[in-house]
Amino acid sequence: MKKKRILMFIMGKWSHSNAAIVDALQDKLPHHEIRVIDLLQQFKRDKRGLIACLLDIPVLAWNALIDRDFDKTDILYAPATSRFINRMARRFTLEYQPDFTIQTTTRFNASTGLVPHFTVIDITVAAARQGYCDLFNSTERALDRLHLFQQQVYSASTAVFAMSRYVRNSLVWDYLVTPYRAINIGAGPNIMLGQRSPLLGSRNILFVGTDWVRKGGPTLLAAFRLLRKNHPQATLNIIGCRPDINEPGVNIIGRVAREHLHKHFTEARVFALPTVHEALGIAFIEALHFGLPIVATGINAIPEIVEDGVNGYIIQPGDVDGLANALDQILSSDKIALAFGNAAYARASHFTWDRAGKVLSENILQLIKLDQEIDQGTSKSTSHYDSHAQAQEAIRCTLLQPDNKQADRARRPSWYEDIFSETRSILHSMQTGISMLLKYF
């Protein structure tokens, strides 16, 4: 029997989740052949990509002028560049002729309209807008552009698969994705698993993150200083980054190969990551699989992984005293540590790539079949979902209705936008005309 084909578009490793998704799909769809295309690498190799970037200079310059700052997120989403990436995806789709395509993240739009297209994400701009503003110095206008780009990706997708309920709800309410086409699949660990931590006898606090500041490192260090007053034998192992710290009891380990990370989880008493911005938090899932109590912040999807008072403690971002007290409770009481550890290990079964792959593959096949029936006019199974979607959209539109003059004034363009609106239109028209030449290269 001839194998069906899947074409998967990615950009980079995406914290090794891309490889995990490929393996899960291959396991659940053994009669499908999967081909993976890294569009970022293809873009770098194609000289025409440079031409697209050059054509986007007027738009990028304009955005920098209006925003009074340059936002690097604009580069991939600029008109000529994004269209060029989309044409690359179309070329690969025509060449490979897959039964359906998948893309991970929304850094690009790989939908072509030729075959069913599915998108897998871990976060939306709407779900973490303030985090983008605070940590990446993104301007509101830049985030508006990114939000619009994501809206286009979701609208062009047959379905969007989120790694958490939190993001799935954002798809429905912030982007008006039809509810039965916004599906939570979860995620799993991206490291080699090993022996569960015994917990007893250890006084080691484990931090794993590549960005010391974004992951709440300064808060953890301040809390650790307070903790050492009652627990002078406590140690803090920092993995993934190398902050400039010289503190008693702090071990800067830096980057560790994925196949060796399990040893550090096994030796820990508690996993602490008081992050201030997080898409999902794969590291929390990995801590569950080693039976570690967890201390985390209650932002975004983290409360779906960490239940306060059940398998760890939830604190507020930047709460040094609260973090120090939570760590003190776990280090002081073997009973609490063991109870949290057992609950964490039990909860780990809900977060595996095998489960995610099962939900992903089953829904892809069901939606493809459903859309075929709809096209043939033989399906009535979506009537409930469609009416539910219409009701949600009506509620959403009602919630967004302005009811005061201040909201009306907020929609009016600023004076500099009025002055340069014609200039912007001219530049955009010139760019569109020139970019048409790319079709003939």
- Would you state the structure tokens that stand for residue 400, as one six-digit string? 């967004």
The predicted pLDDT at position 403 comes to 41
What is the reported pTM?
0.82
pLDDT exceeds cutoff 50 at 354: yes
- To which residue do tokens 């030449």 refer? 437
pLDDT exceeds cutoff 70 at 152: yes
DSSP track, 120-182: EES--TGGGHHHHHHHH---HHHHHHHHHHHHHHHHTSSEEEESSHHHHHHHHHHS---GGGE
Residue in 70, 45, 46 with CA at minimum distance from that of residue 60: 70
**Sorting pLDDT into bands at 50, 70 and 90, what band is 414?**
very low
Over residues 106-113, mean pLDDT: 88
Q: What angle do CA 24, 29, 35 make, to 5 degrees?
A: 75
Domain 204-350 annotated CATH 3.40.50.2000? yes
pLDDT exceeds cutoff 70 at 328: yes
Q: Give the residue, 114 or 1, on which the prediction is more confident.
A: 114
User: 440: part of which helix (H) or strand (E)?
Assistant: none
Pinpoint the residues of the chain covered by CATH 3.40.50.2000: 4-188+353-440, 204-350
257-315 pLDDT, tens per residue?
A: 888 999 999 999 999 999 988 888 899 999 999 999 999 999 989 999 999 999 999 99
Over residues 429-435, mean pLDDT: 54
How many beta carbons lie within 10 A of that of residue 188, not counting itself? 23
Lowest-confidence segment of 185-194, 218-227, 295-304, 411-420 by average pLDDT? 411-420
pLDDT exceeds cutoff 90 at 76: no
**Sorting pLDDT into bands at 50, 70 and 90, what band is 428?**
low
- Would you state the structure tokens that stand for residue 46, as one six-digit string? 């194609």
- Yes or no: say if 184 and 285 are a contact pair by the CB < 8 Å rule: no
The predicted pLDDT at position 278 comes to 85
d(CA 311, CA 341): 6
187-212 pLDDT, tens per residue?
A: 999 999 988 999 998 999 999 999 99
The predicted pLDDT at position 60 comes to 72
d(CA 392, CA 394): 5
Burial 268-296 (b: 16+ CB within 10 A, else e): bbbbbbbbbbbbbbbbbbbbbbbbbbbbb
| Topology (CATH level 3) of domain 4-188+353-440 | Rossmann fold (3.40.50)
**Sorting pLDDT into bands at 50, 70 and 90, what band is 81?**
confident
pLDDT exceeds cutoff 60 at 133: no
Lowest-confidence segment of 148-162, 286-300, 337-351, 390-404 by average pLDDT? 390-404
User: 95: part of which helix (H) or strand (E)?
Assistant: helix 79-96
Mean pLDDT in the chain? 83
The predicted pLDDT at position 132 comes to 59
The predicted pLDDT at position 67 comes to 60
**Sorting pLDDT into bands at 50, 70 and 90, what band is 408?**
very low
